[in-house]
Amino acid sequence: MWCCQLVALIKRKGTVDKYKNIETVKRLDFDRLDTVVSERIGALKLLAQGMTESDVNDDICRDLILPCVYLLTQFLESVEIEEKKDD
């Protein structure tokens, strides 16, 4: 699975280089990561929009959707993008 390959790449300790983290990040497939994350967010959205009131769906919201949204919120708060202003 693609996610396992990503984890293996991050954990790989083949380099004793001073900047091994930079080299690891350069090898990440951000296009694939973008695609996979977008697909999963879309699936969560469809799941959430189709929810009806039931104990099972409430458990799904508690155990899956809300923790995922919380992680995404943490990500958004830690990666700020500022618009470049023309001088």
The rounded distance, in Å, linking the Cα atoms of 25 and 2 is 16
Range of the domain at 46: 2-78
| Confidence band for 85, pLDDT divided at 50, 70 and 90 | confident
The tokens describing 15, both together, are: 């380099």
Asked if residue 37 belongs to a domain, the reply is yes
Confidence band, pLDDT 50/70/90 cuts, at residue 69 = very high
**How many domains does the chain divide into?**
1
Residue 40 lies in a domain: yes
Residue 84 forms part of a structural domain:
no
pLDDT (tens digit, 9 = 90+) per residue, 21-46?
A: 898 899 999 999 999 999 999 999 99
Q: How confident is the model at residue 2 (pLDDT cuts 50, 70, 90)?
A: low
Within a domain: residue 42?
A: yes
* Residue 17 is assigned to a structural domain of this protein: yes
Based on the number of CB atoms within 10 Å of its own CB, is 57 exposed (0-12), middle (13-18) or buried (19 or more)? middle
* Helix or strand run (H / E) with residue 4: helix 2-11
pLDDT at 83: 83
Say if 46 falls within a structural domain. yes
Mean of the pLDDT values across residues 61-85?
91
Asked whether residue 83 is domain-assigned, the answer is no
On whether residue 87 sits in a domain, the answer given is: no
